């Protein structure tokens, strides 16, 4: 069974700084998808960024980018020029391509951006 | 487009009572999902429906039933609520097209308390 681990329960940085959230996963699959979701205090789950395992190029979405290390099974999220609105819980998630269509989530990292 | 909508937003039940959580999506997605989120944890899959007319168990199905009423709607029923089912419930949907990333889009959640 796949597992996803986020080793940082909480992080805090100053506005405009860069922050990196860590995620590792365990799977025997070769092809899969990885996601980062943001959950602000409103509780809404918002997709931040996604990565296909067969793509070597790291995904980027404006200020958000990932460092995908397939051999190390690592998928970290970098937020550049952090903003107050980035304050939220961030969840890393894994989805296999074949079989059960479920997302496996990590425990989450609570990120606070301070003014 | 409203995306994924859920009703109700909040609910308090007594042990043994029953209720149905409603979910609807207007994105013409094929697959729909029900997750639960307990404090300090990521989301866990309860049930999912890969396509209209099919349902399958997820990671934590005990105590729940689901109905895929049509392509738009997917309901979750608690027949006899227990305090252990106190949680926030999220519905999600995805296109589930062959070869696609199959990103899941989430509703705003239902906070359920069982006394």
Whether pLDDT at B1 is above 80: no
Which range of A26-30, A42-46, B103-107, B110-114 scores highest in mean pLDDT? It is B110-114
Which range of A46-60, A75-89, A97-111 scores highest in mean pLDDT? It is A75-89
> What's the pLDDT at A55?
87
Whether pLDDT at B99 is above 60: no
Closest Cβ opposite residue A106 in set B42, B59, B88: B42
User: Which residues in chain B are closer than 8 Å to A45, comparing Cβ atoms?
Assistant: 43, 90, 92, 106, 109
Strands (E) across B1-115 are located at 4-7, 10-13, 19-25, 31-37, 43-49, 56-57, 64-68, 74-78, 87-94, 105-106, 110-114
User: Which residues in chain A are closer than 8 Å to B29, comparing Cβ atoms?
Assistant: none
Q: Does B34 touch chain A (CB under 8 A)?
A: no
Mean pLDDT taken over chain B? 92
Search chain B and give the residue with CA nearest A40. Answer: B108
Average pLDDT over residues B94-113: 82
Measured between alpha carbons, how far is B104 from A41 in angstroms, rounded to an integer? 20
Average pLDDT over residues B28-45: 91
> What's the pLDDT at A92?
97
> What's the pLDDT at A90?
97
Tens digits of residue pLDDT in A32-69: 999 999 999 888 899 999 999 988 899 999 999 999 99
> What's the pLDDT at A1?
75
Average pLDDT over residues B43-66: 93
Whether pLDDT at B65 is above 90: yes
Tell me the Cα Rg of chain A: 14
DSSP codes of every residue in A55-78: --SPPEETTEEEEEETTTTEEEEE
Q: State in Å, rounded, how far the first CA of chain A is from the last one.
A: 41
């Amino acid at each position: 069974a796949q597992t996803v681990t986020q080793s940082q329960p909480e992080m805090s940085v100053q506005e405009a700084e860069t922050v990196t959230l860590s995620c590792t996963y365990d799977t025997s699959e070769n092809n899969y998808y990885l996601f980062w979701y943001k959950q602000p205090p409103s509780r809404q789950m918002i997709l931040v960024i996604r990565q296909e395992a067969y793509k070597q190029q790291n995904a980027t979405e404006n200020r958000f980018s990932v460092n995908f290390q397939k051999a190390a099974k690592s998928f970290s999220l970098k937020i550049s020029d952090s903003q107050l609105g980035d304050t939220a819980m961030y969840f890393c998630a894994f989805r296999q391509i074949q079989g059960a269509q479920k997302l496996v989530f990590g425990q989450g990292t609570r990120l606070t951006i301070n003014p | 487009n409203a995306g994924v909508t859920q009703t109700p937003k909040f609910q308090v039940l007594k042990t043994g009572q029953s209720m149905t959580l409603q979910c609807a999506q207007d994105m013409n997605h094929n697959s729909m999902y029900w997750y639960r989120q307990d404090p300090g944890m990521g989301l866990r899959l309860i049930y999912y429906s890969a396509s209209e007319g099919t349902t399958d168990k997820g990671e934590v199905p005990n105590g729940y039933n689901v109905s895929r009423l049509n392509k738009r709607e997917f309901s979750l029923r608690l027949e006899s609520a227990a305090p252990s089912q106190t949680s926030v419930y999220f519905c999600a949907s995805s296109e589930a097209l062959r070869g696609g990333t199959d990103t899941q889009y989430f509703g705003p959640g239902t906070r359920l308390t069982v006394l």
